[in-house]
């Protein structure tokens, strides 16, 4: 079984704040790119710029903890001041430490029971 953890975090951007949010995201992406355990980190926005999906994929639970503690933690207050969380669905099997971090953001955990994947 793979150890990768990935999720989709859905947020509603506060009215009139998308440009500010987008500038902050540029900073966060640049720092996350430096993390060896971060395998994917992508932001997608609706046509009216009100809803954003953040797709994140990490090598393992340790990489999740590193991202939250060492990278995202520095931006969390600014990030959360610009958005309202609307959903957070986590895939994989994060360990207890990672779950402790993710639980605080309202994570809903989904357990794989069948299928396959290609990350090409």
- Enter the pTM of the model: 0.93
Q: What is the C-alpha to C-alpha distance for residues 117 and 120, in angstroms, rounded to an integer?
A: 9
**Does the pLDDT of residue 79 top 80, yes or no?**
yes
pLDDT tens readout for residues 7-30: 999 999 999 999 999 999 999 999
89-112 tens-digit pLDDT:
999 999 999 999 999 899 999 998
User: Which CATH class name applies to 5-108?
Assistant: alpha beta
Please tell me the distance from the alpha carbon of residue 70 to that of residue 72, in angstroms, as a whole number: 6
Domain boundaries of the chain, sorted by first residue: 5-108
């Amino acid at each position: 079984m793979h150890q990768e953890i990935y999720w989709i975090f859905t947020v509603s951007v506060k009215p009139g704040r998308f440009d500010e949010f987008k500038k902050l995201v540029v900073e966060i992406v640049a720092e996350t790119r430096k993390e060896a355990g971060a395998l994917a980190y992508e932001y997608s926005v609706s046509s009216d710029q009100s809803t954003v999906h953040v797709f994140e994929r990490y090598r393992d639970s340790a990489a999740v903890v590193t991202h939250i503690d060492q990278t995202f933690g520095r931006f969390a207050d600014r990030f959360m001041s610009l958005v309202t969380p609307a959903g957070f669905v986590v895939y994989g099997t994060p360990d207890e430490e990672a779950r402790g971090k993710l639980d605080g953001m309202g994570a809903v955990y989904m357990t794989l029971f069948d299928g396959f994947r290609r990350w090409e």
